[in-house]
Amino acid sequence: MAPIQWILIILSVFALSLDAAEWHYSGEHGIYEWPNEFEQCGEVRQSPIDFPKVEDMTYSKMTPIEFHGFDDPTKYRLKLENNGHTVKVSIESGDVYIEGGGLPGRFKTAQFHFHWGHSGDEGSEHTFDGHNFPMELHVVNYNEKYGNISNAATQDGDGLAVLGFWYQVSDHDNYALAPLINELSHVPVKGSKMDLTNVNLGLLLPIHMDEYNPHFYRYSGSLTTPPCFQSVVWTVFDNKMPISSAQLHMFQTLHEDKEIEGDHYLIDNYRPTQPLNGRIIYRNFEVTSTGPVEQQHQQAQQEVAKPKRKAKINVRLHLED
Ligand SMILES: [Zn+2]
């Protein structure tokens, strides 16, 4: 057989394998077919999950997560891309990483992306006690000991650390999101990409949260898209970030195809919650029978004129944190 024929055979086999890797949220190759087409999507430590009530989580004392290199845009290069599944910002170069917070090592930040719905009622991947949020941000970080993200993503348990942040609809624009949202019109269709300048990750991500150690939830799970590798240490923060309906609309008018014709909007790009299968969910804050300790601490401060015994106990617990 002539070499050219071999090349054609190799190319067609390669094209078939690309076809096999195709997936969508609905229709052909949709969510309910993932477990048949990607083995790990049907395993027992899948994400996202519905977080139970805080009383049903396990307290674990963890240090705050430390964010390094996020605040200086002169030291990293960002690329914005519509990949047909989401809008993704990749960190092309720069020393941006997280550590602490009970994470098993130092994790280099590779990219972040969003999941959203077709309305303001749903769109988040993780839910809380059955409650959906309109959008969820995922910051994807890989364990430095595995060298690169592709290798880390295939490791069992500790390859990736993904941070999840929920949004809630607000009457006002979130100005921290504006520099990114202003560029969305430049990536309207699948495959469009551009360099992203003037975006400060430190402002975009809610790492300047008021609290020293914001409340978060921790569990062991997976990528929420095929091939659903079970390599993720998940951290989902309780603080919700604001987004206006107009800003959300900018995400909802992106297209999932390479063409604008057909009006296939990139919406509802979230996976339903998966069974816990006995996994333990941790929280980094203590609660009493009536709620998180810190809330009660604030209440105790407000009610200082008429001190209650219960409030005093809560203040003591808070100081022991
Ligand atoms: Zn995601």
Residues 168-213: pLDDT tens digits? 999 999 999 999 999 999 999 999 999 998 899 988 877 666 667 7
Annotated active-site residue in 24, 29, 68, 85: 85
Provide the CATH number for the domain around residue 118.
3.10.200.10
Q: What is the reported pLDDT for 319?
A: 30
Q: What is the reported pLDDT for 112?
A: 96
**Would you list the DSSP string of 195-215?**
EE-S--HHHHTTTT-SSSS--
- Told to judge if 118 belongs to the known catalytic residues of this protein, a careful annotator would answer no
pLDDT for 282-320, tens place per residue? 999 999 766 666 544 444 444 333 333 333 323 232 333
Q: Where are the alpha helices (DSSP H) in 100-200?
A: 149-153, 178-181
User: In this predicted structure, which of 93-97, 174-178, 250-254, 313-317 has the lowest mean pLDDT?
Assistant: 313-317
287 phi, psi to nearest 5 deg: -130, 155
Closest CA to 187 of 86, 76, 264, 78: 86
**Does 8 score more than 80 pLDDT?**
no
C-alpha 79 – ligand 1 centre gap (Å): 17
**Does 220 score more than 90 pLDDT?**
yes
CB 184 within 8 A of CB 203: no
Q: Same structural domain for residues 30 and 63?
A: no
Tokens of 141: 């970080």
Our count of domains for the chain comes to: 3
Q: Same structural domain for residues 299 and 189?
A: no
Q: Return the DSSP state at 131.
A: B
Q: Same structural domain for residues 201 and 182?
A: yes
Q: Same structural domain for residues 69 and 109?
A: yes
Q: Same structural domain for residues 55 and 154?
A: yes
Q: What is the reported pLDDT for 209?
A: 61
Rg (CA), the chain: 21
Q: What is the reported pLDDT for 293?
A: 64
Q: Which domain holds residue 305?
A: 287-321
C-alpha 296 – ligand 1 centre gap (Å): 33
Q: Same structural domain for residues 32 and 46?
A: no
| Better-predicted residue by pLDDT, 260 or 244 | 244
Average pLDDT over residues 89-95: 96
CA–CA dist 99, 238 (Å, integer): 19
Q: Same structural domain for residues 186 and 302?
A: no
Q: Same structural domain for residues 164 and 264?
A: yes
Q: Same structural domain for residues 308 and 276?
A: no
Q: What is the reported pLDDT for 213?
A: 79
pLDDT for 15-25, tens place per residue? 444 445 899 99
Q: Same structural domain for residues 153 and 211?
A: yes
Q: Same structural domain for residues 105 and 135?
A: yes
Burial class (CB in 10 A: 0-12, 13-18, 19+), 246: exposed
Q: What is the reported pLDDT for 303?
A: 38
pLDDT for 133-163, tens place per residue? 999 999 999 999 999 999 999 999 999 999 9
Q: What is the reported pLDDT for 100?
A: 95
**Ion ligand 1, residue ranges at CB < 5 A:** 138
Q: Same structural domain for residues 257 and 132?
A: yes
- How much is the mean pLDDT over the chain? 86
Average pLDDT over residues 235-263: 93
| Better-predicted residue by pLDDT, 285 or 11 | 285
Tokens of 4: 């050219």
C-alpha 4 – ligand 1 centre gap (Å): 41
C-alpha 120 – ligand 1 centre gap (Å): 18
For the beta carbon of residue 302, count every other beta carbon within 10 angstroms. 9
